[in-house]
Structure 1
Amino acid sequence: MSEQWGVFRYNETTKKFNFVPARAVKADDVWNASIHSYFNGVFIAAQNPVSFTDVKNHWGKPYIQLAAAKGLVEGVGGGLYDPNRSVTRAEFTAMLVRALGRDISTGDPAPYDDLKQGVWYFNEVVKAKELGLLDFVSGTQFKPDQPLTREEMASMLAAGISLEQLPITKEHMTLNEYKDMANVNAAFLEDVRLMVKLNIMTGTSEDTFSPKGETTRAQAATVFVRMLQILGMID
């Protein structure tokens, strides 16, 4: 089987095919797509090779191409992915809800004062709040256009891991190799530790984690692939 394949569910509302977590499983010498879905619908398994001209020499190329083939991420147009561009809170929230295969909420009130009905990410943010993925947000402002920091990303990913009830071993993971751990908000320290322990997130260099650094599009594609593979939801 081609590495760049995915399973997609037809969305009757948008008339588009959306990402569905799935793995290839062999039984009686026949390959099948094992689908992880919370709802029924019309599904297709398809080879979906994707490449971008601006990631050819980028460290994130294999993750970006795999994430794009599976429908986890999209390019920005013109055959480009723009891997080093920052990801906003709204963008990452929408991608995480879709990556976990969760249906979006509709008709619910806005959980934040600056979340307006009709914006493209409204339903995904409402669902993320409902699922407990937004505990890093303090106060009544979501700040959707603010770049997501790496420690905030760790918080969201840890919440996603908890939501899927992944069994976690109890051995302690040290973060001594990173010299900037003192910069981590204490509220996010255990989330960062878990992400490093599971190898979902790594440092931005051998001795730097950059907790206050902005999440990039390349990093987002990478952590989604790693998280879903650890959860056993994609190959």
Structure 2
Amino acid sequence: TGYTVTSNPGGFTGTSATASSITVTGLTNGTEYTFTVVAKNGVGSSAASAPSKAVMPRGSGGSGGSGGSGGSGGNGGSSNIDPIRSTNGNLTLPLGKVGEMSLDGKILITVPANASDKELKITIEELSEIPGLLANHEVLASSIFEILKNYSGNFSKPVTLTFTFDPTKVKDNQTIALFYYDEGKKAWVEVPGGKIDGNQIRVEVNHFTKFAVLVVDKKSGLPIVATESTEVNFSDIAGHWAEETIKQAVRQGIVNGYTDGSFKPDATITRAEFVTMLMNAWKPSNGNTTLSFTDTNEIPTWAKKAITQAVESGILSGYTDGSFRPDGNIARMEMAMMIAKAYGAKIPTDVATGFSDESEIPEWAKGAVFMIKQIGIVKGRDGNQFAPKETVTRAEAVTVIMNLLHVKKIE
């Protein structure tokens, strides 16, 4: 019988024939660690224990020193610095403090003491729509997260990132790796040294940007690319009227599901989400001007480029009060206007839409509603109603956008 203790971060190990005292070497003073224990005998190995209480090796005179000591299953050592923790994706870390922050159990960031020479303010944002970031249709095993700090430049000490990924995305002869997005090259670059433990991968980085776990070929290490034959499975679309359209849109990189395996086809979609989805399909090359909406600072980072592209393309103009209202649910009449403008033809005036609720459709939207009905992009709801002021579901948004692409393709 023997025992192996493993540190997190770092993956440093120590072994012993007894569990009373196990030394783990290679640890860094000022870095906080947890430890897990695996017992081994002639039959095999046990599952890893739950992580120990976090400890931090100290310098001379400290318990464990630079080597660190893991006694009784990895609980050795002591810390003279209590870490500052956050679980909501926002952390302010004073100079000299250790920090640990997470978001919804999907990502964990561990910042050692003195990784920066100034106060740190860190934010994590999970990107729900990702215009242009999956241009080659890379297969995600996690969400894309954008991690930002309050100043430019690299850290003076490595910062540890731990990502939880979906193992069901990984097929035979495939594995996963953590990548960061190179804004200059517009490409995903692998972060070296990733250590996989169950459904988590841990890496050390010296800077923050956008990160994601991608599925890669086990032999070449290159990202797997989704194709038309790539299987798309969501837990909540089987038998849904838009099932096949949703799958097609996902394969084309227009929309994604959620990390819990669902798509939520009947959930409403916000204005920011719809514009992002539309630009993912339209793929305009612009998007470099500065937005001037009165609520620009409320637009999520992941949506700003798509909204800028829509404004520059003449598809979007916002409200008369100068706002965009990114988190507001998009109404069907607003959707009709954006789709009609994306189609590109002149929007007619003084027309009758032919829907039974014609009187409910505002004059400014009637031409757009008439146009997209005539060319087969929208059919309306039950009772030949357009329901102009009703909100749009994710399934409806996907269907309308895919219909638009189909109409443009056959013209």
User: Shared fold (TM-score greater than 0.5)?
Assistant: yes
Q: Which amino acid aligns with 1:232?
A: K
| Partner AA of 2:396 in structure 1 | Q
TM-superposed deviation, 1:104: 4.8
| Counterpart-to-counterpart distance in 2, 1:148 and 1:118 | 16
CA distances 1:146-170 after superposition (whole Å, capped 9, x unpaired): 00000100000001001xx6x99x9
Matched, 1:115 2:296: yes
Give the number of aligned pairs: 195
Do the aligned partners of 1:136 and 1:156 also contact (CA within 8 Å) in 2?
no
What SS does the corresponding residue of 1:201 show, helix, strand or coil? coil
Could you give the per-residue CA deviations for residues 76-105 of structure 1, whole angstroms, max 9, x where no partner exists?
A: 222210001111111111111221111352
Contact 2:137 2:226 in 1 (8 A): no
TM-score by length of 1: 0.73
Q: Pick one of 331, 347, 361 that aligns with 1:184.
A: 361
* CA distance in structure 2 between the partners assigned to 1:175 and 1:98 by the alignment: 29
- Cross-structure match for 2:386: 209
Pick closer, same or farther for the CA change 1:197–1:120 going to 2, 3 Å. Answer: same
Q: CA deviation at 1:49?
A: 2.5
Q: Is the 8 A contact 2:275 2:306 kept in 1?
A: yes
Task: Specify whether residues 147 and 223 from structure 1 end up closer, same or farther in structure 2 by C-alpha distance, changes over 3 A only.
Answer: same
| 1:133 equivalent in alignment to 2:354 | no
Relative to its length, the structure with more helix (as a share) is 1
Q: Which has the higher strand share?
A: 2
C-alpha contact (below 8 Å) 1:114/1:143 kept by paired residues: yes
Determine what percentage of the aligned residue pairs are the same residue: 26
- The answer as to whether partners of 1:104 and 1:124 remain within 8 angstroms in 2 is no
- Find the counterpart in structure 2 of residue 52 from structure 1: 234
Q: Flag structure 2 segments of 5+ consecutive residues without an equivalent.
A: 1-134, 139-180, 189-224
**Offset, 1:137:** 3.2
Q: What is the Cα deviation at residue 65 of structure 1?
A: 1.1
Match of 2:257 in 1: 75
Please state how far the C-alpha of 1:173 moved relative to its aligned partner: 8.1
Q: Conserved in 1, the CA contact under 8 Å of 2:242 and 2:399?
A: yes
Corresponding residue for residue 175 of structure 1 = 353
Q: Secondary structure at the match of 2:384?
A: coil
Q: Report the counterpart of residue 408 of structure 2 in structure 1.
A: 231
Structure-2 change in CA distance of 1:134 and 1:100 (3 Å): same
Structure 1: distance between partners of 2:361 and 2:264: 27
Structure 1 partner of 2:126: none
Q: How does 1:11-160 map to 2 (within 5 A)?
A: 12-13=182-183, 15=187, 46=227, 47-106=229-288, 108-116=289-297, 119-135=301-317, 137-160=319-342
Contact 2:293 2:318 in 1 (8 A): no
* Maintained 8 Å contact 1:48/1:70: no
Change in CA separation of 1:224 and 1:96 when aligned onto 2, cut-off 3 Å: same
Secondary structure in structure 1 of the residue aligned to 2:136: strand
TM-score by length of 2: 0.43
Kept after mapping to 1: 8 A contact 2:352/2:366:
no
CA contact (8 A) 2:272 2:303 kept: yes
Q: Which has the larger radius of gyration?
A: 2
Determine helix, strand or coil for the equivalent of 1:206. helix
Structure 1 vs Structure 2 CA RMSD: 3.0
Structure 2 CA distance for partners of 1:216 and 1:118, relative to 1, 3 Å: closer
Pair 1:194-2:376 in alignment = no
> Which of 133, 136, 139 is the aligned partner of 1:8?
136
Distance 1:9 1:76, change over 3 A: closer
